[in-house]
Amino acid sequence: MANTMGSVSSISVLAQMAGQYGLATPQSQGATRGGGPVLAYVPTLEALELAINAARGSSLCVVEGFGQPIGGWAAAVEAEDLTSGEPSDPLEPALVEALESLIFYGNNGWGDQFGKQQAQRILARLPREQRDPEFIAGYVMGKGQSAHGAKNLQAIIEKLR
């Protein structure tokens, strides 16, 4: 899984893997068919969502890039860092409680007025340094929210900053 077809062509090993196993992007048709392990190369939120869906019942390896940090997703799914062999650092219990409350009110992707109000209320109680929009977006995606919902939540967080 990559953001675009051209994003792996300059890296020979990725181009070889794409040729052998296939390459899907958010623009691909049928990109969410599962059936085996998935490698997501520097995904956007949309590509990460497709990779998560395609990897259901198998394994998912995500290579983080500069555009979209994936620390929140890694924390949510308790991912292992393959460069160190270590699991993600555990989150503070108060932060986990706030994030789980956010997810509870995100059934409409924080797109309705009630969901937005509840998200603002929960986020306002978090210390400013814990209101990282990219981390929180990745976390809620790791817990099953859509890229669209995660982006809605990012916008809410940005307004609180």
* Rounded mean pLDDT for each run of 10 residues along the chain, 161 residues in total: 87 91 82 77 94 92 90 95 88 96 95 96 95 96 96 95 78
41 has which bridge partners?
A: 63
| Cα separation, 19 vs 72, whole angstroms | 31
Q: Given this model, what pLDDT does residue 34 score?
A: 63
DSSP-derived 3-state class of residue 126: coil
**Predicted TM-score (pTM) of this structure:** 0.91
Count of other CB atoms within 10 angstroms of residue 7: 18
Report helix, strand or coil for 62.
strand
Query: CA-CA distance, 12 to 31, in Å (whole number)?
Result: 22
